[in-house]
Chain A
Amino acid sequence: MPSPRRTGSPPGEPRRIAYLYLLPGFVVYAAFLLYPLLRAVQLSFYDWDGLTLGRWIGLDNYREIVSDESLRSAFGHALILIVFFAVVPVCVGLLLASILNRAKVRGLPFFRTVVFLPQVVAMVVVAVAWRRIYAPDGSLNELLGALGLDSLQRGWLGDYALALPAVGFVGTWFETGLVTVLLLAGMSRISGDLYEAARLDGAGPVREFFAVTLPSVRGEIAVASTLTVIAALRTFDLVYVTTGGGPGNSTSVPSYEVYHRAFELGRVGSAAAVGVTLTLVILAISLVINRIGDRDTAQ
């Protein structure tokens, strides 16, 4: 039975009742997200082993993040991973998408699927597979051997200079598909008129790309960057499975440190502090990216 329309107020239920509808969702959100988050913030001020009574130590855990060289370098590694997880995939994705979009390839859905495929596989599976590829007797070294490049053969994940890039490359391989498909969707919405106009003005494919395609997909680039940057910063499974932070500590990352400290060292407070710091870094970086994205689309 439709209720009589109230005048002078927005349509639908009154606000107070509307909040009631939000309540179930909010309760779930609060119980599984807000509460753990606040609790983590609280724990980060304690020296706690997970068993006995915790001891309030204020900001000491945070001070350690700044002063401890291995923790600092873990955050440094995460920043390097951003290049591999976000910057390279966005560049490659732009190139791939614009080629696929321009060339009007036959069987586009097939290529789209192939490019997107890594996203479908669980990261742990991806990591196990790549670990075998990078092994001293793995396929990468076999390929190099077959090409006569024996001098380049090595245990990739055990090489101090190359382990981090090797791990990062898996990220590139993983994220490029996602970025490409996102950008393809964006490009398919660009009106053909714009390209026609550009061509009438005498623009070549390169000029067309910078004048029409790139500005039109800024929103998609912002979304893709946000997703991939977050993926880079919270990388855990990949490092856990491939290198465990090695060789030495050359591939340790913050989320691996969180696990390591909480479950292996029994330093729950310190783990929480790393987690909170990582959350803040992710928040800050995604805010910046979104600001840039918004400003650009507004222009």
Chain B
Amino acid sequence: MIRSSRSKPTARLALTAGVLSLVTALAACTPGSDTSAPPPQATASSVQTDAAKLGDVTLLVWDQEVRGGQAAQMTALNTAFQAKYPNIKLKRVSRSFDDLKTTLRLALSGNEPPDVVEANNGRSDMGEFVKANQLVPLDPYAAAYGWDKRYPESVRQYSSYSADGKTFGQGNLYGLPQVGEIVGIYYSKKKLAAAGVQPPMTWDEFQSSLATLKAKGEPPLVLGNLEKWPAIHVFGTVQGRTTSADTIKQLAFGRKGATWKTPENLKAAQTLTDWVGKGYFNQGFNGQDYDPAWQGFSKGKGTYLIAGTWLQADLGKAMGDDVGFIVPPGASADAKPLATGGTGLPFAITAKSKHPEAAAAYLNFITSQDAMATLAKTGNLPVADTATQHVSPGLQQDVFNAFGKTVQAGGLVPYLDYATPTMYDTIGAALQDLLAGKTTPDQFVDRLEKDYGAFAAKNG
């Protein structure tokens, strides 16, 4: 008994000491690392653009090109790069988008981050990384390689931030995307012909075709909105008919000075409400999955599907000649094209990379004119030189034309959920509420204004 009564306090003391030291250790270290110094900048004139002269280096590359045609183009380009520049060894790590998104933060703040990363361009990813000085501004390389000529401004804006990461859509260039995407209208040629309707050339024609098709019995618009984000694309498409590209950019990049409370935005919201009221959408769309919805469309349900070019390959395969794609039409047949869209995830160079020049050479290679041809060949939508690619006529040609034309006209406007870190949620939930008739267009724009306004004011 003596032994135990003596050992107990000792153990307790040891335990208390242990807990105490743990607590003090925790209290001493503030989470995160202080990276207040911006990364060193290269100068355009000193950039060595001949990768063969860069010596033996190894590049660690993190990408998310894991599926089908994406994986095929990346493998092909990497092999070609290795063959051309044997002195630069590529170490590729590829993970799915979700895995990449959740692990990239930790990897970047670690001591040995990858040299090249494919980072989501939104504020909560690329914006945060820029703010934390973890990405290198690419402008000197852009000047040396001529990337500013390769990519039009409406494409570059998606990877541009001010140096403090606060302003999105302008400032330094932080990444180079390979592929583009645009939201348009897929339509079934057979269904239109059966209803005696021509593919719409103007927005009015589109709206009147909705009425004609609905009168035949079936809801013409296919929507699966269980995931909340699909409706953002539908709303963006309608908003593009009422609101100017500049205003949409300001709202969607979360820049100060615009407002949601405008007659144009109200009109767009009202249009959606009307469409629901008139029964233009399939029943129960808020409880319908996105994938089964477009698969239903490919099997002959509905006539129109408002969706992005990412569905092109699948829809083309399933529907063959029956399916067509148009940029959402404007007020007149020759109106300037305007559509929601963007780029694939851009490739960026990390600030801690020891070989930024080699990384830039790699970026240049996978976005070159030859690379764009490889991308088109493997079924992707290349972000540059789109209209000049030779592709099979039909849907793919439709999509390439739509994207090329819109980019050239500077009519590509960003996804609305880019605006603030919380906007994805806010607008997703707000649209579900609006479409379900739970809120009025007034309440809808108020809710978006609250999110956008609070952020824009705080962000400065």
Contact = CB atoms under 8 A, between A and B. Distances in A.
Nearest to A18: B7
A246 interface: yes
B23 interface: yes
Contact of B31 (A48, A155, A249, A263): A48
A15 interface: yes
Interface of B: 1-4, 7-8, 10-11, 22-23, 26-27, 30-35, 101-102, 105, 108-109, 124, 128-129, 131-132, 134, 225-228, 282-289, 292, 296, 421-422, 424-425, 428-429, 432-433, 436, 438
8 contacts: A15-B11, A19-B11, A43-B31, A137-B292, A158-B285, A160-B436, A247-B286, A248-B438
A159 interface: yes
B228 A54 contact: no
A286 interface: no
Contacts of A16: 3, 7, 10-11
Nearest to A15: B7
B288 A53 contact: no
Given A246-B432, A266-B124, A266-B421, A50 B32 contact: yes
Contacts of B429: 245-249
Nearest to B8: A15
B440 to A, nearest CB: 14
10 smallest beta-carbon distances between A and B, as pairs: A155-B287, A158-B287, A155-B284, A158-B286, A136-B284, A51-B132, A54-B31, A15-B7, A247-B432, A157-B287
Nearest to B29: A42
A244 B287 CA distance: 11
B7 A46 contact: no
Interface stretch (A6-14, A182-190, A194-202): A6-14
B31 A38 contact: no
Interface string A154-168: 111111100100000
Nearest to B98: A263
A246 B229 CA distance: 11
Interface string A27-61: 00000001100110011001011111110100000
Contact of B102 (A39, A155, A263): A263
A244 B2 CA distance: 60
Nearest to B228: A246
Contacts of A243: 226
Interface in A40-87: 42-43, 46, 48-54, 56
A243 B227 CA distance: 7
Contact of B30 (A49, A53, A266): A53
Contacts of A163: 287
Interface of A: 8-10, 14-16, 19, 34-35, 38-39, 42-43, 46, 48-54, 56, 131, 134-137, 153-160, 163, 243-249, 260, 263-268
A51 B286 contact: no
B288 A158 contact: yes
A123 to B, nearest CB: 18
A160 B437 CA distance: 11
A135 B286 contact: no
Given A10-B4, A249-B429, A53 B285 contact: no
Contacts of B27: 42
Contacts of A34: 22
Nearest to B22: A38
Contact of B26 (A15, A38, A246, A248): A38
Nearest to A50: B105
Nearest to B286: A158
A260 to B, nearest CB: 8
Contacts of A38: 22-23, 26
B42 to A, nearest CB: 23
Given A16-B7, A52-B35, A266-B421, A135 B287 contact: yes
Contacts of A247: 228, 286-287, 429, 432-433, 436
Given A51-B108, A155-B288, A248-B436, 5 more contacts: A9-B4, A49-B128, A155-B283, A159-B286, A243-B226
A136 B287 contact: yes
A10 B3 CA distance: 10
A135 B11 contact: no
B34 A53 contact: yes
Contacts of A249: 429
A136 B33 contact: no
B226 A15 contact: no
A247 B230 CA distance: 13
B22 A246 contact: no
B422 A265 contact: yes
B222 to A, nearest CB: 12
A134 B134 CA distance: 44
A45 to B, nearest CB: 10
A57 B1 CA distance: 50
A56 B30 contact: yes
A289 B16 CA distance: 30
A15 B4 contact: yes
A50 B125 CA distance: 11
Contacts of B285: 136, 155, 158
A246 B226 CA distance: 7
A53 B287 CA distance: 41
Contacts of A19: 7, 11
Contacts of A159: 286-287
Nearest to A269: B31
B4 A54 contact: no
Contacts of B32: 48-54
A248 B7 contact: no
A249 B287 CA distance: 14
B201 to A, nearest CB: 32
Contacts of B109: 50-51
A43 B30 CA distance: 9
A38 B24 CA distance: 11
Contacts of A131: 226, 289
Contact of B433 (A137, A154, A248): A248
Given A136-B284, A154-B287, A244-B228, A264 B436 contact: no
A14 B429 CA distance: 62
B26 A39 contact: yes
Nearest to B430: A248
A257 to B, nearest CB: 11
Contacts of B10: 16
* Most interface-central of A35, A160, A247 (chain B CB within 10 A): A247
Contacts of B1: 8-9
Contacts of A134: 287
B26 A265 contact: no
A31 B89 CA distance: 38
A3 to B, nearest CB: 14
